[in-house]
Amino acid sequence: MGKALKLYPPIASATELRSRLAQAFPGEDLVLPPHLDQVLAIHSKLGDQRPATCGAYALSYLLPARGFERLEGHSLADEDYMAHLAAVTIEAREVTESDEVAARVARGELTEAEARRRHPHTWYRFPMSSSADPAEVGTSAGGVARAISLGSAGRLATVPVPGRRADGLPQLDAVAWERLLDTVEDEFAAGGVDVLFNYDTDQVLGARDPAYSAANLRRPDAASVIPLDHWGVGHFVPLIGALRRPGGDRWLVILNSFKERAFSACEPQPAELMRRAVIREDGRGGGVLLVVPAERRTSWVERVEAAGLAVGTWSNGSREPADWRW
């Protein structure tokens, strides 16, 4: 980035988040889900994500916060296990590095605990697919849905809302976006749905930039004084809060996987910029994944369709799992 990164103390509770955001949005009503304390308590202890695991990383705190902590003896808080469940495609060089660490563990040169501590981003303990093509590396929307279904033993399901229609034109225009957010708002506040965005990072505010500050976020023209991001990647993040500014514009609080962003990864963004990020302008697909109780999936599909939106998948370029269908 070429600029000094900002570091804030970890935000480990909803109370701490409210206090931090009150500096940027004084007196404004912040909508937070009831299980946010559990989400932030887990997230605050995590390091940054591995290179290609954003969707899996988000699930490593979202699923345990919902009470889904283990599967077949493995912790769902372990990012590399979630990456395995999400069928993440990693870079070919990562496989080589991971194999080298595994060989040292096998020879007794490192214990597993030492390997995880010294090589948190280069050791995968579970089978992973890889590619030398950067366009295929990462986490697909289907992979995230697969990990949610497997990790919850089928008790959670996903409703995918693509940013664009089958003909390539935006489905989530400004009006449709507001309808979607209105549709999920009450259930989000009650803890009945988690919301995951798959988006193009370059369309939102640059949360690592020094201009991204509480003082500038307070301004009614915040989006004009804080530059857009120049990260150049597709990404997954969950929604953890929402608010409306005095002028009526909507803001969304997302939880990122890099602690130097925004306020220890708790990242307010204008809802309109997130809409543009979800429809993407980088030639790849994006969208919104609603994570709901499996027994309510059909009613959620009906609710989304009643808002005039199509439910369906999208491709963000990363390999889809061969054994998963929506």
Q: Which residue has the tokens 């150049």?
A: 232
Least confident window among 118-122, 197-201, 267-271, 273-277: 118-122
User: What mean pLDDT comes out for the span 290-315?
Assistant: 97
Q: Are 25 and 217 in contact (CB under 8 A)?
A: yes
Pairing of strands 194-200, 129-131: unpaired
* Residue 154 in this model has a pLDDT that exceeds 90: yes
pLDDT at 24: 95
Instruction: Tell me the whole-structure pTM to 2 decimals.
Output: 0.94
User: What mean pLDDT comes out for the span 14-21?
Assistant: 97
Give 112 or 256, the one with higher predicted confidence.
256
pLDDT at 1: 40
Q: How far is Cα 74 from Cα 82, in angstroms, rounded to an integer?
A: 10
User: Binning pLDDT at 50, 70 and 90, where does residue 120 land?
Assistant: confident
pLDDT in tens, 23-64: 999 989 999 999 999 999 999 999 999 999 999 999 999 999
User: What mean pLDDT comes out for the span 302-307?
Assistant: 97
Helix (H) or strand (E) holding 82: helix 79-85
**How many CA atoms lie within 13 Å of 125's alpha carbon, on the beta-carbon side?**
16
* Residue 226 in this model has a pLDDT that exceeds 60: yes
User: What mean pLDDT comes out for the span 218-228?
Assistant: 95
pLDDT at 6: 63
Q: How far is Cα 55 from Cα 117, in angstroms, rounded to an integer?
A: 22
Closest Cα to residue 316, out of 197, 234, 239?
234
Q: Where are the domains of the chain?
A: 14-34+156-306
Closest Cα to residue 74, out of 37, 127, 144?
127
Chain mean pLDDT for the chain: 94
